[in-house]
Amino acid sequence: MNTPDYSPTTQQRLIGDLRLVIENAEELLKNTDHYTGMVYQNARAKLATALNAANEELARFEEDQLNRMMEATRAANELHHDDSGEARILRAFYH
């Protein structure tokens, strides 16, 4: 059984892919607003609903990613005893 790859690179790629899908869906909605048939309007409504869900999921992914980055930074600061902003900046340049 394959385990999902949750590496930061993979997560960043997935977030980028989701952003692209959202942008394309928004463009599709914008460019099809002149279609007035019931089939088109139903399809557009379903796409709009899915787009809202995707935007919410993207926001959650980005918030989770930011929280992981902040936790990693906090842990590194504790590990290296960086008690000041200056110490953190200097360590960033030395490593």
Report the distance separating Cα 87 and Cα 73, nearest Å.
Answer: 13
pLDDT in tens, 20-59: 999 999 999 999 989 989 999 999 999 999 999 999 999 9
Asked if residue 2 is part of any domain, the answer here is: no
What's residue 94's pLDDT?
77
Task: Look at the chain and report how many structural domains it folds into.
Answer: 1
Asked if residue 3 is part of any domain, the answer here is: no
Amino acid at 18: L
Task: Please compute Rg for the chain using Cα positions.
Answer: 21
Q: Which domain does 71 fall in, by range?
A: 8-94
Asked if residue 56 is part of any domain, the answer here is: yes
pLDDT bracket for residue 80 (50, 70, 90)? confident
